Amino acid sequence: MNKFVSRRELLSLIGKTGATAAVLKASTALGLVPETNVQFPDIPSVNPANRPAVVILGGGISGLTTAYELDKAGYDCVVLEAAPKAGGRCMTVRSGDLIDEVGNPQICEFDDEPHMYFNAGPARIPSTHRNLLRYCRELGVELEIFVNENKEAYVQDDAMFNGKPIKNAAVTTSARGFMAEIMAKNFTGHELDQPLNQYEAESLLSAIRSFGDLSEGDVFKGSTRSGYAHGGFIEHGVQKDVADFSELLKTDFMRMILGQNEGETGPVLFQPVGGMDKIVQGFTNKLEGKIYYDVMVASVNLNNGDGVEVTYEHKGMKYKIQADYCFNCIPSHLMTGIENNFDDNYIEAMRYVRRGEAYKSAFQAKTRFWEKDDIYGGISWTNQKIQQIWYPPHGVFKDKGVILGAYDYGGGMHFTKLSQEERLETAIRQGQKVHPEYRDQVEKGITIAWHRMNHMLGCAARWARNRDGMTADEERLYRTLQQPAGGRHYMIGDQISVHSAWQESAILSAHWAINDMVKRQSGISTMPGQKLS
C-alpha cells in the first residue's frame, strides 16, 4: 500500500538524507516560500488643470518606467538625462556609436546592418521577468528567443584535457553519467525505502538512471546524448568516447556547467529583435519631447516637504527646475558628488552602496565560423580571463556576426585596467584556445568597462559587503534609501532592490516608488486650483 507522504514529511526526509540547503531549495520548489510582490501601479488620473510636476533624474530603465506610467496618468513629467541618449546601462552598440568610456572613447566600426549589434549591458530577459515582458508587449518591442546554454558550444580549461576545448555535451553527459552511477550504486534502499514506499523508491531510481543515461547494471558507458563520433543517420552511429571523468574533476567547470541552465539563466530567455535598446526606444517613443539629453544634474534640494528643486547644466548654461516629486535613478555613487540637502541618515545610506564591476567586449566576425561547428547561439566557457564567448542566436547564416569575446561579471577589473590594445589582444589570444581560427576571424573589437563608463562608473550596486547577504545594519540602510526623502524624493533603479543587475529590478523599484507616492498622495485634491481648507 502506498503510504501518503506529506510535503512537510518529504522535506524533513530530504533534510535527513541531505544538507539543509536541499530543504531550502525543495521548499521553494513546492511553493511554500512566498514570493514577494510589488503591485503593478494603479495610479488615479490627475486633474488636467492641476497636474503635479514630476522631475525624473536619469533616463535609465527605472526612470523611463516612472515617466511612462506617470505621464499616462496625467502627471507633468520631465526626464533629465546626462548622456546624449537614454537607457543608461541598457545600451546597444552599432555602427558609428560612441562608447563613452572615460579615458578610452571608442567609435564602433561594425558593418551597418540590423543584425550587427552588441548588447553592451543587458542581453537576456528571463521568462519570469513579468513586468519587463509586460512592457515589451505594451510598447510593441518584438522579442525572439535568446539561447544561453548550447551543448554544442565549448568548455575549455588549461587544467583539463591538456587545455583542449571540448564540447559542453561531452562534459555534461560524462558528469551526469558518473554522478548517476554513484547515486544508483549507493541506492541500496536502506535509509530510503523506509520513508519512501516501493513505488517512490523505484521512481527515484529510474530518474537517477535516466539522469545519467546508465547502462545495464547501473554503470555509465557513455551516452549518445553527446552525439556520435560518426554515422547515426544512414549508417549506424558510433558513440563518442566518454570524456574522462577524472579530467573533469580537475576544474570547476562541472559545477558551473551543471548550474548554468538554471534559475534566471535557464530557459526560456528572450532578447528584443535588433538589440536590447529597442526597449528604451519603446519608452522614448511614448515620451516624445519629455526627455532632455546632455543635461547634467548638479544639485537636488528638498523644499521643506513641499517639492524638490533641481539645478542642472546644459551646454555650459545653468538651469533650475521645481517639481512636486522627484524620482532619481542616478547611480547612488554619483549622487554622493551632487549637492543636496538630504538628511544624514539618507546620505549615510547613499554612501554605503558600493560600485559594482562588469566588463564586456565584442568583435565583428568575418564569417560565422561557429556555425560550421554546429554552434548556433549559446555560450562557450573558459577558465581564462575572458570567461565566456557568446554566439549570436540571431542572424543565422548571414555572412558575418557580432560575438561577445569576454564577459567578466562581478569582478571586471582585470580587463578594465588594461589599455584598449591590451584588452583586445588578450581577448584574441584567449579566444584562440577555444577556436584556433579566432585571430583570423575577428576584427573591429570594442570593449565596455562599466566601471569607467561616463555617467555610470559602475554596474550593479552592492549593498552586502559579505557573501552571506545583507546584515541587519545593511538592511536598515537599504530601507532608509528606499523611503522618499522629505516624502518627495525617491531613489529608484536596480540599486534600490535586493537583486541588482536586472532590468526587472529597476522596473519594480519604480513601481514600488510610484505606489508609495500614490499612497501618500491620497490626500491630494482632484479639484483644479489650490486647496485652501
Ligand X SMILES: Cc1cc2nc3c(=O)[nH]c(=O)nc-3n(C[C@H](O)[C@H](O)[C@H](O)COP(=O)(O)OP(=O)(O)OC[C@H]3O[C@@H](n4cnc5c(N)ncnc54)[C@H](O)[C@@H]3O)c2cc1C
Pick the closer one to ligand HEC by CB: 119 or 416. Answer: 416
319 counts as binding other proteins under rule CB under 8 A: yes
**Which amino acid is located at 374 in the chain?**
D
User: Amino acid letter at 142?
Assistant: E
Selected from 265, 341, 345, 515, the binder of other proteins by CB under 8 A is 341
Q: 115 vs 455, which CB is nearer to ligand HEC?
A: 455
90 makes contact, choosing from ligand X, other proteins, ligand HEC, none, with CB < 5 to 8 Å by partner type, with ligand X
Contacts of 464 (CB under 8 A, 6+ apart): 470, 471, 474
**Interacting stretch for other proteins, rule CB under 8 A, among 157-165, 178-186, 291-299, 428-436?**
291-299
Rounded Cα gap, residues 393 and 380, in angstroms: 13
Using CA atoms, how far apart are residues 155 and 253, in angstroms rounded to an integer? 8
Distances (CA, A) of 203 to 12, 29, 176, 197: 19, 19, 18, 10
Site string for ligand HEC, 61-100 (x = CB under 6 A): ----------------------------------------
- Neighbouring CB atoms inside 10 A of 366's CB total 14
Q: Please give the biggest Cα pair distance in the chain.
A: 90
* Residue 61 near other proteins by CB under 8 A: no
DSSP string across 474-491: HHHHHHHHHSPBTTTEEE
Query: Whose Cβ is closer to ligand HEC: residue 102's or residue 207's?
Result: 102
| Residue 211 interface partner, choices ligand HEC, ligand X, other proteins, none, CB cut-off 5-8 Å depending on type | none
Contact between 285 and other proteins per CB under 8 A:
no
**62 binds, options ligand HEC, other proteins, ligand X, none, Cβ within 5 to 8 A by partner type:** ligand X
- Count the residues in the chain: 533
Q: Which does 55 bind (CB under 5 to 8 A by kind): other proteins, ligand HEC, ligand X, none?
A: other proteins
Which amino acid, 147?
A: V
Determine which residue in the list 66, 131, 251, 284 makes contact with other proteins, applying CB under 8 A: 284
Residue closer to other proteins by CB (options 161, 327) is: 327
102 binds ligand HEC (CB under 6 A): yes
CA atoms within 13 A of residue 373's CA, in its CB half-sphere: 23
Q: Closer CB to ligand X, residue 81 or residue 152?
A: 81
**Of 35, 52, 34, the residue nearest 43 (C-alpha):** 52
What's the CA gap between 298 and 321, in Å, rounded?
A: 11
Would you say 38 and 281 are in contact if contact means Cβ atoms under 8 Å apart?
Answer: no
Q: H/E element holding 118?
A: strand 118-119
Strands (E), 303-419: 308-314, 317-323, 325-328, 339-340, 358-365, 378-382, 388-391, 401-409
Residue 503 phi, psi (nearest 5): -65, -35
Binding to ligand X (CB under 6 A) within 35-64 occurs at: 57-63
Q: Which amino acid is at 196?
A: L
3-state secondary structure 144-164: EEECCCCCCCEEECCCCHHHC
Query: Which option in ligand HEC, ligand X, other proteins, none does residue 311 bind, with CB closer than 5 to 8 A by kind?
Result: other proteins
Residue 295 touching other proteins (CB under 8 A): yes
Is residue 31 part of the contact set for other proteins (CB under 8 A)? no
If binding is defined by CB under 6 A, does position 90 make contact with ligand X? Answer: yes
Stretch that binds other proteins, among 154-162, 345-353, 464-472, 481-489 (CB under 8 A): 345-353
Work out how close the CB of 418 gets to ligand HEC at its nearest, in angstroms, rounded to a whole number.
16
275 belongs to the binding site for ligand X (CB under 6 A) = no
What are the angstrom distances between the C-alpha of 14 and each of 10, 196, 356?
A: 6, 11, 37
435-464 positions binding ligand X, by CB under 6 A:
450, 455, 459
Among residues 48, 217, 263, 337, which is the contact residue for other proteins, using CB under 8 A? 337
Phi and psi dihedrals of 339, rounded to 5? -55, 140
Stretch in the footprint of other proteins (CB under 8 A) among 120-128, 257-265, 290-298, 495-503: 290-298
> Measured from the CB atom, is 156 or 340 closer to other proteins?
340
Q: How far is the CB of 356 from ligand X (least distance, A)?
A: 8
Place of cell 512636486: 324
Across the beta sheet with 76-80, the strand order is 291-292, 76-80, 53-57, 325-328, 489-491
| Closest separation in Å from C-beta 62 to other proteins | 19
Q: Which does 330 bind (CB under 5 to 8 A by kind): ligand X, ligand HEC, other proteins, none?
A: ligand X
| x-or-dash string of contact with other proteins, 437-476, rule CB under 8 A | --------------xx-xx-x-------------------
HSE (side-chain half, CA atoms, 13 Å) at 271: 24
Which residues form the interface with ligand X (CB under 6 A)? 57-63, 80-83, 88-90, 121-125, 296-297, 329-331, 334, 358, 360, 450, 455, 459, 493-494, 501-506
Interface contacts to ligand HEC, rule CB under 6 A: 102, 452
Where does this chain bind other proteins (CB under 8 A)? 53, 55, 76, 78, 82, 84-86, 96-98, 102-105, 107, 284, 289, 292-299, 311, 313-314, 316-323, 332-334, 336-342, 347, 351, 353, 355, 413, 417, 451-452, 454-455, 457
